[in-house]
Amino acid sequence: MSRGQCGFTECEKPRNSYGLCDGHYQQKYRRREELRPLKKKSRQHYWENGRKVCPGCGKSKDAIEYSGDKYQPSGKKQYCKDCQRLSKAKKN
């Protein structure tokens, strides 16, 4: 762990004056819970300027990289075409 990081081992967020990141500070002092890894915020439906981060590969890709899906609020699949292809390949 390098200086400036949250005191929680697996956490790479910047520490505040309590030696923890804001999320872990909340856990410990506000909710008085055991420290545990923070949940990552889901960005699955988060489109910005026609781009979205794919939850499969974690890359920001253009809308053209996603197949259409009328059941999704965005009108596009959550996962990019590459990840769709990979998940299909695994099943077979």
Rounded to an integer, what is the distance from CA 10 to the centroid of its chain?
Answer: 15
Q: How far is the CB of 23 from Zn ion (least distance, A)?
A: 5
d(CA 80, CA 17): 40
**44 or 75: whose CB is closer to Zn ion?**
44
**11 or 76: whose CB is closer to Zn ion?**
11
Q: How far is the CB of 82 from Zn ion (least distance, A)?
A: 5
d(CA 48, CA 22): 25
**54 or 76: whose CB is closer to Zn ion?**
54
Q: How far is the CB of 39 from Zn ion (least distance, A)?
A: 12
Burial of 28 (0-12, 13-18, 19+ CB in 10 A): middle
- Chain residues in the site for Zn ion (CB under 5 A): 6, 8, 11, 13, 21, 24, 54, 56-57, 80, 83
